[in-house]
Amino acid sequence: MITTVDVDDAAFVRAPIPFVYRRITDIGAWPTWWTGLELREQPPVAGNERWAASLRLAPARLVRIMVTCTRWRHDAGFELRLAGDLVGRAEFWLEPAASGTVVHHVASATTSLYRARGVATGYRKAVRRGLWGLKDVLQMEMRSSLGVRP
């Protein structure tokens, strides 16, 4: 049985868009701030970056996804094509806010994995872990650049 997985989430980061964009577009470094994510770079397809991702949804649940970067929008975000346990698309985009940036993540995919509702819930939690990790790293970087000790 194939089930739809739709996720829409966001996090506020107290850092300007160029700082956030630089971190979020360095996909190979995501595991340094995204707990439960493992990546292996793959040969590009049609000039697009590709990554084999393993995303831990729960202690005993791992989702394997081939992630291909399909569209970059300078200082605004990018789109990803998903294949594997989740098939569809995802997008990160950045929105300026009063004293920082809102990082949005949207994913629309299908899965044939057992207990698909749990996959959707686990994926959303995993994305939140990633967004919070990004927020923590960037806010620490901003404090350090201003000479403020955490």
pLDDT band at 148 (very low <50, low <70, confident <90, very high): low
Does a structural domain hold residue 74? yes
Domain containing 7 equals 3-145
Interacting residues of 100 by C-beta distance below 8 A, sequence separation 6+: 12, 13, 14, 15, 16
User: What integer pLDDT is reported at residue 97 of this predicted model?
Assistant: 94
Neighbours of 148 (CB within 10 A): 9
Q: 113 vs 104, which has greater pLDDT?
A: 104
User: What integer pLDDT is reported at residue 149 of this predicted model?
Assistant: 59
Spatial distance between the Cα atoms of 133 and 135, rounded to a whole number of angstroms: 5
Tokens 């970056």 — which residue? Answer: 49
Does a structural domain hold residue 116? yes
Dihedral sign of CA atoms 98, 127, 92, 134 in order: positive
Tokens of 69: 């970067």
Domain count within the chain? 1
Which CATH number characterizes residue 43's domain? 3.30.530.20
At 44-95, the pLDDT tens digits run 989 999 999 999 988 878 999 999 999 988 889 999 999 999 999 999 999 9
User: What integer pLDDT is reported at residue 146 of this predicted model?
Assistant: 63
